[in-house]
Structure 1
Amino acid sequence: MEQAPITMELGEKIDISAISSLKATLDSLPINTEPQLFDARYITHIDSASCQLFYAYAQHLALHNTTLVFLSPSDKFMTVVKALGFETDFNYASM
């Protein structure tokens, strides 16, 4: 039986103040579900620590043949991701 993809709605603000809880949430997700979909349309603030955590998580998933996809990323999300050089490291899709 095929599992439905995971969809996690990301909040407006993702930064170092919430990195521990974000990491705990990511650690609790099953890694063998393809793909993992994160709704990024509401993000108005994201910092480099959060982008680095998403990058590390995406790399971890890739080792297990799973893909992380950001759905409808906000302009702010894309601005920060591009500025940090992660643009080509992430996958994106529209909702």
Structure 2
Amino acid sequence: MEQRSIAMELGEKIDITSIALLKVTLDTLPINSHSQVFDAHRVTHIDSASCQLFHAYAQHLMIHNSSLVFLSPSDKFMAVVKALGFESYFNYA
């Protein structure tokens, strides 16, 4: 199995109340790696604003020949991503 370096571990709740801090955090991550891996196993709540930010970040990474990968996304994470139509825009491991 391929080893992946985790860029960020996501917390339980990712929503509009924390999106400004999340944006600042994303802006500080290096983009010169093959992929940015976010551990999403603990997520119990995610909203559309967060999905939109992750989508924009994934597009930004693609411009720089990198990709966004969600590691072990929780069932809740996947349910919301699917319901909002973002499932095909993200990579999973």
- What residue ranges of structure 1 are gaps of 5+ in the alignment? none
Residue 64 of structure 1 is matched in structure 2 by 64
Q: How far 1:6 moved relative to its partner?
A: 4.2
CA distance in structure 2 between the aligned counterparts of 1:59 and 1:49, rounded to whole angstroms: 15
Are 1:22 and 2:11 matched, yes or no?
no
Residue 34 of structure 1 is matched in structure 2 by 34
Residue 49 of structure 2 is matched in structure 1 by 49
Counterpart AA for 1:33: S
CA distance in structure 1 between the aligned counterparts of 2:22 and 2:33, rounded to whole angstroms: 19
- What residue ranges of structure 2 are gaps of 5+ in the alignment? none
Aligned-residue CA RMSD (Å): 1.1
Contact 2:6–2:39 (8 Å) recurs in 1? no
CA distance in structure 2 between the aligned counterparts of 1:60 and 1:8, rounded to whole angstroms: 17
Contact 1:72–1:92 (8 Å) recurs in 2? yes
Structure 1 runs of 4+ with >4 Å offset? none
Q: How far 1:32 moved relative to its partner?
A: 1.1
Are 1:86 and 2:49 matched, yes or no?
no
